Chain A
């Protein structure tokens, strides 16, 4: 019989997977100012690497680890030529990079079935367990990964390193004048962001268990962008809430249509709502729903205590 709980759990899993992507894009765009419009490419590398290894019989831990490194490596290689470009051109190049990669997977049948796609064996098989329990296991894995990514991201942005990348975002020239190797920092953040996208891709492929090139169209990148812009760039918690919001709106529209009588198909209405929201936010609250998180360092804490005392 119907199990709405499973649908809720399913949504939660997707929120987790997309939240990792949002956090990774936030590192690149929110904190470093890199307009990466090819997020889907690294997600795709993670998904395909993980699927191919899983089909060869590797345990899941190996799959996700290799997928993370593979995506990070591809991100690093892609960043070398791309980061020499100014912001707008970077956006175009990364967008094209994602599409080129997708076309390679699409046309090279030997890699992973080309357009026919590839099915992925289940990572965890426990026979005789109800599906709800399996979903909870999935959920635990995804949220554990999200927690690790969030932790890493928080550590990075609250460290001296984090202040450097924020400085680069605000004024590249000034950062250079202060003796920072801007290119190096950017490449490192791009690599880190891509590796996180690889984690997300690996989780995605083992969860949905079938991937084909049509799954990785550029729209996926823009979904992640929506989450970041709505949630608030440079606020890791904000973008996670952005992921919750976008997913809830997508799923909610599907269910709302059964109960509402609207002149427009609510499923299409969802796209309009998101569009309008983005325009409104960019016009009236460009910092997103949540402001940029304040830097937290031990020194600042001590200083604020002193301030209170005096």
Chain B
């Protein structure tokens, strides 16, 4: 009797929040799906209940759109791999740093870098990478030619790696720390070199974190709008740019919605696999 009383109260308590998520999250996403199947009509947003696949047909038959999708996927995959190569060593150092003050200091640095508005970080990156930026100044004073470091594909990759690194590092730190150090020590005491112990013991055991980090970074990188627009100088056209143009500049609501749904499906697939992998590993930690 008391149990049902308690559970009724808990439902009542959560009701405002759950209603909020229903009305402002699930319903709008449902509407987005519906609108993406509605007959295209410039300037009209209301659902007209004339559903067909014409928007999706348009997407998959015009190279400007499906090539942007392929470019987005390739870019996000490349960024995920680079973020892993650059992020793993720092995650390893943080995980193995036992001094609490130094450890907290490193975590504050990573979290601050993660939480700072990306536009501000891009401001700094652009000042570094510009044609007259610090890096090109150094190159020139060394007698080299200037190198175009942004407003191109390279610039977008650098920006996205900067954006994604903290997420990769946070995915890895917990997993690396959960590896029993005596395993590596055992390998070492049996004569394995430091590198061999690392490759044969640590890397396989951090696989869940590596996979989770790759998928998380992929999903974040594919949906970034600011980085490709500011670092790519409108030369690297990816899905979020098409979404914004279709909606805000061309008022093609239905087609814009279908591009958004395609991007949503790509990133939710990565997310579902991510949750699978991280649930499997969560059993052993936290």
Whether A and B are associated in the same complex: the answer reads: no
**B-contacting residues of A (Cβ < 8 Å)?**
none
**A-contacting residues of B (Cβ < 8 Å)?**
none
